[in-house]
Amino acid sequence: MSTTVYTKPGCVQCTATHRTLDNKGITYETVDLTTNHKALETIKKLGYLQAPVIITDNDHWSGFRPDKIAALV
């Protein structure tokens, strides 16, 4: 399963999301929204205005969501 975390520096929820994914052994790609403007536009088109945004093959959400991360295992 493909998992991408769209993040920004200094984001507490982003750090918590990365930590939880790491602890669960879930591999993911990280995209910095402050340096990748195309990714930022994609996230905005999905209706998200805050980081992190997590996109998987079957789902996407915003914010630190341990329940959604647990469902990925």
Please give the pLDDT value at position 46: 95
Please give the pLDDT value at position 69: 96
Please give the pLDDT value at position 64: 98
Three-state SS for 55? strand
> What is the b/e burial string over 15-41, where b = at least 16 CB atoms within 10 angstroms of the residue's CB?
ebbbebbeeeebebeebebeeeeebbe
CATH number of the domain at 3-72, out of 3.40.50.10280, 3.30.930.10, 3.40.50.2300, 3.40.30.10? 3.40.30.10
Sign of the four-CA dihedral 14, 18, 38, 2 = negative
What does the pLDDT look like over 23-48, one tens digit per residue?
A: 999 999 999 999 999 999 999 999 99
Domain extents in the chain? 3-72
Please give the pLDDT value at position 1: 77
**Average pLDDT for residues 37-62, to the nearest whole number?**
96
Q: Is the pLDDT of residue 73 over 90?
A: no
